Structure 1
Amino acid sequence: MNYYSYPSLSSTYLRFDQQLAFPVVTVCTKNPMDFNSVSLYFDQSFVGHSEIPVVEYTDFYFYETAYMCGCACRRFNVNGTFLTSQYGISSGLFLETTSTELQIAIHDPQEDPNMLRDGRTVRNGTETFIEIHRREYKSLPSPYIAYGNQICIDDTDYSFVDCKRKCFNEMLKKECSCTMNPSPTGNETYCVNDYHTNTCAAELYGAILQSSTLCVCPPECRVIKYDQVLSSVANKNDFQSHYLKIRIYLKDLSTAVTEQVPKYDGVTSLLANLGGQMGLFLGASILTITELLEFIIFIVWTVIQRRAKGKNAVRHIDI
């Protein structure tokens, strides 16, 4: 029994909620002017809010868009505060623009997506439907091992994204003498404003992506992901063919939860497991010994019976 290795089990179940948090939607384009013609609509009767917080992708976020795809980006529901009780194609987020091409990433507020890896490309002249389903992963903190061979952090104040940001910014100050988060006093150099610091920052970011030892941040114990099903139809109308439309909506109000649970969750389960193993061992041992004794007794009894028959046998003597 490997109790001190802290074994665990995986439990998967489906949870249904009355309301579900709508994910963060990051929209990127290679032409910043395209955002002048972006129209966003979110059904307010479903979420109970009066504003649509579309924010510029700035500060730390800018380095990823500038170095990874040369994009200008905006985010919808940046803090993940919108709740919805509706699902299906008639609800959710609707986006309409004359942009030639957009990249869309759907994610949790704690996640910083790589647009080249996580983004989905959509082009004008089409209407794209993105159906999303929420998944939640819960892992146990130390001393248990989560995500294969790592230890996760179970702290509401800890953020994997913030850890990466701070690490990257500290390395920028050290290696490139600039920052992606300049202070209000203006005493620090903003990396993007200078060609040499911008190039240095881009190379450093590439090195971090390729290295497993730079900016090592443990994962969070609670992670939320979104499964996506994408389908598109072409706009046949000549006027509509210049527009790009996107509808993002929840499949339902369920969440597929995968939870890591201790194999021994207390003294009771530990003693039960120990007692079960001891009972099995003792039961098997007694049964084996009994069978062996029975076999030996049977052999001895057979030998005795044969000898007894040999002594009592009648012999015929010829005269």
Structure 2
Amino acid sequence: MNVDKNMTDTTTADAKKHSPTYGLKDLWDEFSHSTGIHAVEKIKAPSINPFSVRGLMWTLAICTTTAFLIYNLIEELGNYYSYPIVTKVTSNIKHFIEFPAVTICNRCTLNKTRLDVYPEMESYFANTSLQRNKNFTFPTPTSDVFQNPLSLEWWRNMSMEGSKMLVQCAFGGDNFDCMTEFRPVFTTQGLCHSYNFNVTEIVKVWTAGDDANLIVSFNIHQDDYTFRANMAAGIKVLLHNPRLHPEADPTVVMASPGFSTYVALQKKEYSFLPGPYKAFDDMECVDTNSAEFVNPLKYYSPFTYEHCFMECVRIKAFDECGCVGPSDPQDLPRCSLVKQDSCYTTFVREMSKNGTFVKECGCVGECTLIRYTAQVSSSSFPANIWVNTFLNSTETRDRATMVENFLELRVFYDNMMVTSTAQQPQYTVASLFSNIGGQMGLCLGASNLTIMEITELLVFIILFLCDKCRGRKARNRINTW
């Protein structure tokens, strides 16, 4: 019995003597046989199998591909956080399209006949016009009408009458009263008349074609023209978003008397990505559709880049000149004629082309906007066969007078198609992980779950070292957890 006991003790002692101690080499060996990373199992710990040429080659291969993977991942993450974009352009046929606002300005908005009540007025406008076109000076008039602030009512009384200029109007083949739909609005050109601007319900177009949209007959009344810096005769047509001021980035078309001018429109919609994406080169856009957005402008609504800059330059002009122009929305003192010509108009013109001032305003573009493009063509108006009929209906003296004063304007969509240009993220979270997974699979034959395997190995190494530091026996957690 003692012999059996001695043999048992000897066997136990031998087992303890020859039982291997669990170490980092075992941890690596078990990881290399369980991981999904290619070729790791070909690298043996030195204590298990001394390094061979084959082992060194595989080690070099894995290190090289790992370095290449890390380089690609850093570049991939850099690209993702640079927020690159792609632009998608689509053309869609619509059942209906909102019609733009059409603002018509006579090339001379002031009425000479009405200005004649002021004896010096014609010579004053002649001198100011020469001053702008040539290096010309003249004595500043001192009478009250030139030096005192002028009200909007004065400007209305001295302007061309819309009821006399707008002869006949039709939309969609139906005639309508011009002055009911065309509303007076002040611009830097003077008193103009707008159709479909700032209305409760925007006019919609259901059919395209030059006979299906807006047709206007116009009498420019050249006999009532006075001297202005602009020397042309005819009308200036501003095509713009119905919700925006006529001078907020319009499409501009000129129409001459004696012609029928055809303006074929195309509507373009733009949608840009808000921050952190750079919508305009190095600038972010303002997401005006966001629930948190509050219009920072005091005088213009809605917020646009053009409204922002218009407000900025006009506030600065008031600080410089102490008055505002007739087209400004501020309820502040209006400029006198002398002040407007000598200070206000000049200052606004200079600031509008001053790059430093433009940057100081700090205006940024909105993320969604609408623009119109126009193709313009014309033909003689009216045709010879209609001359007598037109003379009788308008009570015009003769054909020469009619050709010098009358014109027809047709503004229409040439098709029921809207072109949309939208920015889209080049990278999404899904595409980022797909690219990372592709890089890992290409370099190491690994997947995104391999990151968990590597993380687990690092955790076990830390726990192994903690056991060693505490004097404990290291445990094989890979197999026991």
Residue in structure 1 matching 2:270, options 137, 159, 168: 137
Q: Which has the higher contact order (CA 8 A, sep 6+)?
A: 1
Matches within 5 A, 1:215-230: 215-230=361-376
User: Cα distance, 1:131 vs. partner?
Assistant: 0.7
Matched, 1:53 2:181: yes
8 A Cα contact 1:104 1:119, kept in partner: yes
Summarize the Cα distance change of 1:281–1:204 in structure 2 as closer, same or farther, 3 Å threshold: farther
Deviation at residue 113 of structure 1 after TM alignment: 5.8
| Letter of the structure 2 residue corresponding to residue 91 of structure 1 | A
Structure 2 equivalent of residue 24 of structure 1: 101
1:49-103 Cα deviation digits (max 9, x unpaired):
x995322222xxx3x22xxxxx542211113711121111221111111225111
Give the CA deviation at 1:16: 2.3
Give the aligned partner of residue 189 of structure 1. 333
Q: In structure 2, what is the Cα distance between the partners aligned to 1:41 and 1:129?
A: 15
Larger radius of gyration between Structure 1 and Structure 2: 2
Ranges in structure 1 where 5+ consecutive residues have no aligned partner: 66-70, 284-319
Q: What is the TM-score of this pair, normalised by structure 1?
A: 0.74
Deviation at 1:122, TM superposition (A): 1.4
Number of the residue aligned with 2:216: 95
Q: How far, CA to CA, are the matches of 2:271 and 2:179 in structure 1? A: 32
- 1-side partners of 2:108 and 2:85: how far apart? 49
Greater share of helix residues, 1 or 2?
2
Structure 2: give runs of 5+ residues left out of the alignment: 1-75, 110-159, 221-232, 290-294, 296-301, 388-398, 446-481
Q: Indicate conservation of the 8 Å contact 1:105/1:119, yes or no.
A: yes
Q: CA 1:141 to 1:182, structure 2 compared with 1: closer, same or farther past 3 Å?
A: closer
Q: How far apart, CA to CA, are the structure 2 residues paired with 1:277 and 1:199?
A: 68
Kept in 1, the 8 Å contact 2:209–2:412? The answer is: yes
Counterparts of 2:262 and 2:278 in 1: how far apart (Å)? 38
Selected match of 1:277 from 413, 434, 439: 439
Report 1:1-319 matches (<5 A).
1=76, 2-32=79-109, 33=160, 35=162, 36-43=164-171, 52-58=180-186, 62=187, 64-65=188-189, 71-79=190-198, 81-99=202-220, 100-109=233-242, 118-156=251-289, 157=295, 158-160=302-304, 161-179=306-324, 180-183=328-331, 188-191=332-335, 193-214=336-357, 215-235=361-381, 236-237=383-384, 238=387, 239=399, 241=403, 242-265=405-428, 267-282=429-444
Q: Which has the larger strand fraction?
A: 1
Q: TM-score normalised to the size of structure 2?
A: 0.50
RMSD: 3.0
**Aligned positions, number:** 267
Pairwise CA distance, 1:123: 0.9
Aligned to 1:297: none
Distance 1:229 1:27 in 2: 17
Higher deviation after alignment, 207-216 or 233-242:
233-242
C-alpha change, 1:109 and 1:151, in structure 2 (3 Å) is: farther
Q: State the shift of 1:155 in Å.
A: 0.9
Change (3 A) 1:115 1:219: closer
1:133 Cα shift?
A: 0.8
